[in-house]
C-alpha cells in the first residue's frame, strides 16, 4: 500500500469512526452516568457549526471575517427575545433567527466587502463590537448580565428539546446537514466563482463575474449558518448574553478554523473539538490556562498551518491556490 | 432641550482628551502597519502593560514623574523583546497569521498580568501638581490632569510631525512605507529600522497607558476596548497615515463623547421617553461605528490615505 492510499484509509477511519462515536455518545454518557460530557460535546458540535460556516468564507473566499461571533449573538438573541415575549414556537423562532442573521450579514457585508485586506479584518471586528455594545445597552433584555430563557424552542411535540439527548441529535443533524450543504455549495458553479475570485480576482472580473455580489451571497450564507448555531447555543444554555458576541469569541472561531485545517469544511469541526477540549483540559489544571493557550496558538500559526485535518493528508483548498490573501484582494 | 454651553465645552474637552489618547495608540499601530505591513492586535496589551508598570512604580516610589520616566522605557524594552521573539517572524506572513498569532499574544499578556499583579484592578493617583483644576475662558473649569493629557498628546503629535517630516529617520520611515524592498536594496538596515519603528510605537502605547492610569482602573483586558476604537480611527483616517490617525482620533474622540452625553437627551426631546430611553444609549454606543460605515461607503480608503491610489 502506498503512503497516499494509507492516508486515505486512515482518514476514512477517522471520519467514519468519529461519526460512529458521536452517534453512540448519548447512550454511552447515560450508561456511564456522565451527563456533563453530553453537554460538553453538544457545545463542541455547536461551535463546529459556527467554525464550519466561517470556513466557507475564510477558507474558500479568503474573507478574513473577525466578527463572525456576531451572528451567534443574533441567533441567540432572536430566540431569547422571542422567548421573553412568550413566543417559543419553532416555526416563528427559527425563521426570525434565520432572517435576522441573514439581514445583519447582508448589511455588514455590503459595507465591509467594499474594502479589502486589513481594512476588511478591522471593519468586521468593529461591526461585531457594535452589536456587542448594542446587546449591552438592551437593558430590558438583561443588558450586560444577559437574558435567561425559561423554555427551549417548542417544536409542537414532534421533537422534544427539553431532553438534552434530543437536542444533541438535533445539533448533530444540523451539523451534518450544513456539512453536506457546504460541500455541495463549494463544488457548484457558485463555489467555483468564489474560489476563482480568491485565487485571481481580476481574471474572474474579466470573465464577467460580478465577484463582489458573489462574495456577498457567500458572506450572507455563512452568517446565516452561524445564526443557526446561535439558536442552538441559546437552546443549550437557556441563556443569551452579549458575551456570545465578544470579539475573543470571533477570534476563537478563527482559531478553530486554522487549528482544524482551513478550506476543508471538515477540518474546522476537528478544530472546534480540539480547541474546546484543550480549554477544558487546561482549565482543569490551572485557572491561568490562557497563559498556556496563547503561546500554543502562536506556535500553531507559525509551525502547523495545515491543521489537524491536513495531518490526515487531506488535500487543502489553499494548498492548491497558494497562501490566502487577507481579505478579498482589491482590484 | 437646551444644551448648556458650559457642559458642551466640558464634554468637548473630554472628547478631545479621548481623541489624543486614541491618537497615541493609532500613531503606533498605523506606523507599524504602514511600514512592516503588520497588523498587531497586541498593541493594546503593550498599553495595558505600560499602565501596570506605571501603577507599580508609582506605588513603590510615590512619584508620578519617576513612574513615568521608568515605565515608558520599561514598556519599550518589553515591546522590543516581543518584536524580536515573535513579531519579527510574522512580517512576511499573511494578515490572517498575524491576527491569530497576535491574538495569542493578547491571551498570554492578559493572563500574565493576572498572574503577576493578581486579579483585582490597580489604581493610580494623579500627581499633586496636576490634581487641581484649570479655569479656562468663559467660566469653564476643567481638571488639570485631563488638560495635561491633551497637552501631552498634542506635544507628541507635534514631535511626530517633526520627526517624520524633517529628520533623516523620518525620511527612512516614509521611504519604508512607500517601498520597503527598495529601502533595503539601497543599503538601509531594514531589520533595525523595523525594530526602531516598533519601539517608537511601543513607547507611544506606553505613554497612553501611563496617562490612562489615573483616570481608568488598571486591569487585565483594559487594552482591548481602546484597541478596537483605535482600529475604527485608523480605518476612518486611512491606514499608514499619521495625519489620518490624528484627524480620525480627534473625530472619533469628540463624536463618541458628545454622542454619549447628548444623544439620549436629544432623543428624549424628539421621541416619547420610553423609546428614547431604550434607543438613546444603544444608538450612542453605535454612533462611531455608523460613522465608520458612512466613511467607508463614500471613501473606502479612509479620509486621509497615506498614498495616493
Calculate what percentage of chain A has a pLDDT beyond 70.
Answer: 94
SS3 state of residue B302: coil
Q: What pLDDT sits at residue A324?
A: 45
Reduce the DSSP state of residue A157 to 3 states and report it: coil
Residues of B in contact with A324 (CB under 8 A): 94, 96
In 3D space, the residue among B303, B15, B295 whose CA is nearest the CA of residue B153 turns out to be: B15
User: With helix as H, strand as E and coil as C, how does A296-309 read?
Assistant: HHHHHHHHCCCHHH
State residue B188's pLDDT score.
83
Question: Quick check: B100 and A117 CB within 8 A?
Answer: no
Question: A234: Cβ–Cβ under 8 A, 6 or more apart, which residues?
Answer: A75, A76, A77, A79, A80, A149, A240
Which positions in chain B touch A289 (Cβ < 8 Å)? 111
DSSP letter, residue A325: P
Q: Is the pLDDT of residue A1 over 70?
A: no
**Domain extent listing, chain B:** 9-220
Helix (H, G, I), strand (E, B) or coil at A265: coil
User: CA of B293: which chain A residue's CA is closest?
Assistant: A111
Yes or no: say if A115 and A65 are a contact pair by the CB < 8 Å rule: no
Instruction: pLDDT band for B306, please (50, 70, 90 cuts).
Output: low
CA distance A164 to A26: 9
- Looking at chain A, how many residues does it have? 331
Which of B101, B108, B285 comes nearest A137 by C-beta? Answer: B285
At A224-249, the pLDDT tens digits run 999 999 999 999 999 999 999 998 89
Q: What's the full length of chain B, in residues? A: 309
For residues B208-226, average pLDDT: 88
What mean pLDDT do residues B3-32 have?
A: 88
User: CB distance A125–B228 less than 8 Å?
Assistant: yes
pLDDT digits (tens, 9 = 90+) for A86-97: 888 888 999 999
Q: How far is A51 from chain B (nearest CA, A)?
A: 15
Do B228 and A126 lie within an 8 Å CB cutoff?
Answer: yes
Q: Give the pLDDT of residue B235.
A: 86
CA dist., res. B301 & res. A124, Å (int): 16
pLDDT at B17: 92
Whether pLDDT at B183 is above 90: no
How many Å lie between the alpha carbon of B102 and the closest alpha carbon of chain A?
8
- Whether A319 shows a pLDDT value over 50: the answer reads no
**Chain B residues with CB inside 8 Å of A128's CB?**
none
Q: How far is B89 from chain A (nearest CA, A)?
A: 8
Write out chain A residues lying below 8 Å of B235, CB-based: 119, 122-123, 126
Q: How far is A285 from chain B (nearest CA, A)?
A: 15
B144 versus A68: the higher-pLDDT residue is A68
Q: How far is B82 from chain A (nearest CA, A)?
A: 12
Q: Is the pLDDT of residue A106 over 90?
A: yes
- Which chain A residue lies closest to B101 (C-alpha atoms)? A298
pLDDT category, A250, cuts 50, 70, 90?
Answer: very high
Question: At CB < 8 Å, which residues of chain B contact A?
Answer: 33, 39, 86, 89, 93-101, 103-112, 114-115, 224, 228, 231-232, 234-235, 239, 278, 281-282, 285-286, 289-290, 292-293, 296-297, 300
**Dist. CA B244–CA B235, nearest whole Å:** 9
> Is residue B174 pLDDT above 90, yes or no?
no
Higher pLDDT residue, A226 or B88? A226
Percent of chain B whose predicted confidence (pLDDT) is above 90 = 30
pLDDT at residue B307, as a whole number: 58
Answer yes or no: are the C-beta atoms of A150 and A159 closer than 8 Å.
no
Nearest by CB: A121 against B39, B108, B115:
B39
Using DSSP, state whether B218 is helix, strand or coil.
strand
Give the chain B residue nearest A110 (alpha carbons): B297
d(CA A312, CA A298): 22
- Per-residue pLDDT band for A316 (boundaries 50, 70, 90) equals very low
- As a whole number, mean pLDDT of residues B267-291 equals 78
Q: Which chain A residue shows the shortest CA-CA distance from B107? A: A294
Instruction: Tell me if A121 and B97 make a contact (CB, 8 A cut-off).
Output: no
Tell me if A119 and B105 make a contact (CB, 8 A cut-off). Answer: no
Contact (CB<8Å) B231/A134: no
CA distance B108 to chain A (A): 5
Is-contact A232 A288, C-beta < 8 A?
no
> How far is the alpha carbon of A291 from chain B, nearest alpha carbon, in Å?
5
Q: How far is A73 from chain B (nearest CA, A)?
A: 16
Measure CB to CB from residue A140 to each of B89, B103, B278 and give the nearest one.
B278
Chain B hits for A254, CB-CB cut-off 8 Å, are 96, 99-100, 103
Residues B202-212, mean pLDDT to the nearest whole number: 92
As a whole number, mean pLDDT of residues B16-37 equals 89
pLDDT tens digits, A155-199? 877 778 888 889 999 999 999 999 999 999 999 999 999 999 888
* Lowest mean pLDDT segment, chosen from A103-117, B225-239, B265-279, B292-306: B265-279
> Confidence band (pLDDT; 50, 70, 90) for B309?
very low
Q: Tell me whether residues B95 and A114 touch, CB distance under 8 A.
A: no
- Mean pLDDT, chain A, as a whole number? 87
Average pLDDT over residues B184-201: 87
Q: How many helices (H) and strands (E) does chain B have?
A: 11, 2
Q: Is B286 in Cβ contact with A133 (below 8 Å)?
A: yes
- Residue ranges in chain A assigned as alpha helix (H): 3-31, 35-61, 69-84, 90-112, 117-137, 164-187, 189-199, 201-206, 211-237, 247-260, 266-285, 289-303, 307-311, 317-321
DSSP B300: T
Residues of B in contact with A294 (CB under 8 A): 104-109, 111
**Mean pLDDT, to the nearest integer, of A117-142?**
86
Cβ–Cβ gap B239/A118 under 8 Å = yes
Crossing angle between the packed helical segments B223-237 and B5-36, to the nearest 10 degrees = 80
Band (pLDDT 50/70/90 cuts) for residue A331 is very low
Q: Say whether pLDDT at B280 is over 80.
A: no
Mean pLDDT in residue range A253-273: 91
Question: Could B105 and A294 be called an inter-chain contact, meaning their C-beta atoms sit closer than 8 Å?
Answer: yes
Instruction: Tell me the helices (H) and strands (E) count for chain A, helix number first.
Output: 14, 2
* Chain A: closest CA distance from residue B24 (Å): 18
Q: Is the pLDDT of residue A323 over 90?
A: no
In whole angstroms, what separates CA B173 from the centre of its chain?
20
Which residues in chain A are closer than 8 Å to B286, comparing Cβ atoms?
130, 133-134
Q: Per the CB < 8 Å rule, is B292 touching A126?
A: yes
Segment (H or E) for A130: helix A117-137
Best mutation target among B30, B99, B274, B305 (most A Cβ atoms within 10 Å) is B99
The pLDDT of residue A328:
47
pTM above 0.90, yes or no: no
Q: Evaluate if residue A37 carries a pLDDT over 70.
A: yes
CA distance B137 to chain A (A): 36
Q: Do A140 and B300 touch (CB under 8 A)?
A: no
Of B106-120, B140-154, B216-230, B276-290, the range with the lowest mean pLDDT is B276-290
pLDDT band at residue A150, thresholds of 50, 70 and 90? confident
pLDDT in tens, B57-78: 888 888 888 888 999 999 999 9
CATH architecture of A41-321: Orthogonal Bundle (1.10)
State the DSSP code for B141.
E
B156-175 burial, b for 16+ CB within 10 Å, e for fewer? bbeebeeebeeeeebebbbb
Size of interface A-B (CB pairs under 8 A): 136
Amino acid at each position: 500500500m502506498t503512503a497516499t492510499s494509507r492516508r486515505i484509509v486512515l482518514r476514512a477511519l477517522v471520519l467514519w469512526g468519529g461519526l460512529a462515536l458521536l452517534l453512540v455518545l448519548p447512550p454511552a454518557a447515560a450508561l456511564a452516568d456522565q451527563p456533563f460530557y453530553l453537554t460538553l460535546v453538544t457545545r463542541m458540535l455547536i461551535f463546529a457549526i459556527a467554525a464550519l460556516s466561517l470556513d466557507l468564507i475564510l477558507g474558500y473566499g479568503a474573507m478574513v471575517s473577525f466578527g463572525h461571533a456576531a451572528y451567534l449573538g443574533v441567533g441567540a438573541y432572536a430566540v431569547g427575545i422571542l422567548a421573553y415575549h412568550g413566543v417559543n414556537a419553532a416555526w416563528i423562532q427559527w425563521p426570525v433567527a434565520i432572517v435576522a442573521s441573514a439581514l445583519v450579514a447582508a448589511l455588514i457585508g455590503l459595507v465591509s466587502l467594499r474594502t479589502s485586506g486589513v481594512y476588511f479584518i478591522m471593519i468586521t471586528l468593529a461591526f461585531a463590537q457594535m452589536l456587542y455594545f448594542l446587546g449591552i445597552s438592551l437593558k430590558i433584555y438583561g443588558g450586560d448580565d444577559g437574558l435567561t430563557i425559561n423554555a427551549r424552542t417548542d417544536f409542537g411535540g414532534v421533537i422534544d428539546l427539553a431532553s438534552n439527548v434530543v437536542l444533541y441529535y438535533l445539533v448533530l443533524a444540523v451539523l451534518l446537514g450544513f456539512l453536506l450543504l457546504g460541500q455541495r455549495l463549494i463544488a457548484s458553479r457558485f463555489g467555483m466563482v468564489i474560489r476563482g475570485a480568491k485565487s485571481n480576482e481580476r481574471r474572474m472580473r474579466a470573465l464577467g463575474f460580478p465577484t463582489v455580489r458573489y462574495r456577498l451571497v457567500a458572506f450572507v450564507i455563512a452568517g446565516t449558518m452561524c445564526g443557526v448555531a446561535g439558536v442552538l447555543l441559546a437552546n443549550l444554555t437557556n441563556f443569551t448574553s452579549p458575551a456570545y458576541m465578544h470579539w475573543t469569541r470571533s477570534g476563537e472561531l478563527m482559531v478553530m478554523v486554522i487549528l482544524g485545517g482551513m478550506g476543508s469544511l471538515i477540518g474546522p469541526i476537528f478544530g472546534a473539538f480540539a480547541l474546546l477540549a484543550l480549554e477544558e483540559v487546561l482549565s482543569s489544571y490551572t485557572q491561568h490556562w490562557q497563559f498556556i493557550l496563547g503561546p500554543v496558538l502562536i506556535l500553531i500559526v507559525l509551525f502547523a498551518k495545515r491543521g489537524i485535518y491536513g495531518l490526515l493528508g487531506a488535500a487543502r483548498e489553499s494548498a492548491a491556490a497558494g497562501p490566502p490573501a487577507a481579505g478579498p484582494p482589491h482590484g | 432641550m437646551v444644551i448648556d454651553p458650559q457642559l458642551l465645552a466640558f464634554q468637548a474637552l473630554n472628547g478631545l482628551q479621548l481623541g489624543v489618547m486614541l491618537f497615541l495608540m493609532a500613531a503606533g499601530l498605523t506606523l507599524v502597519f504602514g511600514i512592516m505591513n503588520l497588523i498587531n492586535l497586541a498593541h493594546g496589551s503593550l498599553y495595558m502593560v505600560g499602565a501596570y508598570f506605571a501603577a507599580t512604580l508609582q506605588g513603590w516610589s510615590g512619584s508620578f514623574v519617576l513612574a513615568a520616566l521608568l515605565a515608558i522605557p520599561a514598556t519599550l524594552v518589553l515591546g522590543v523583546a516581543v518584536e524580536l521573539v515573535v513579531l519579527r517572524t510574522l512580517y512576511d506572513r499573511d494578515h490572517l497569521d498575524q491576527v491569530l498569532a497576535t491574538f495569542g499574544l493578547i491571551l498570554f499578556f492578559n493572563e500574565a498580568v493576572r498572574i503577576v499583579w493578581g486579579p483585582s484592578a490597580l489604581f493610580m493617583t494623579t500627581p499633586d501638581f496636576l490634581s487641581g483644576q484649570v479655569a479656562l475662558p468663559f467660566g469653564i473649569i476643567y481638571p488639570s490632569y485631563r488638560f495635561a493629557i491633551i497637552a501631552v498628546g498634542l506635544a507628541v503629535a507635534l514631535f511626530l510631525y517633526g520627526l517624520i517630516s524633517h529628520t533623516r529617520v523620518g525620511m527612512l520611515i516614509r521611504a519604508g512605507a512607500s517601498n520597503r524592498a527598495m529601502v533595503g536594496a539601497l543599503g538601509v538596515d531594514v531589520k533595525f529600522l523595523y525594530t526602531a519603528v516598533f519601539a517608537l510605537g511601543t513607547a507611544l502605547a506606553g505613554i497612553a497607558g501611563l496617562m490612562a492610569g489615573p483616570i481608568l482602573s488598571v486591569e487585565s483586558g483594559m487594552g482591548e476596548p481602546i484597541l478596537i476604537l483605535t482600529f475604527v480611527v485608523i480605518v476612518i483616517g486611512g491606514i499608514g497615515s499619521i495625519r489620518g490617525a490624528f484627524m480620525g482620533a480627534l473625530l472619533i474622540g469628540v463624536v463618541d463623547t458628545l454622542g454619549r452625553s447628548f444623544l439620549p437627551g436629544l432623543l428624549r426631546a424628539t421621541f416619547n421617553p420610553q423609546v428614547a430611553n431604550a434607543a438613546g444609549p444603544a444608538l450612542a454606543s453605535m454612533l462611531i461605528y455608523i460613522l465608520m460605515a458612512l466613511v467607508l461607503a463614500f471613501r473606502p480608503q479612509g479620509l486621509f490615505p497615506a498614498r495616493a491610489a
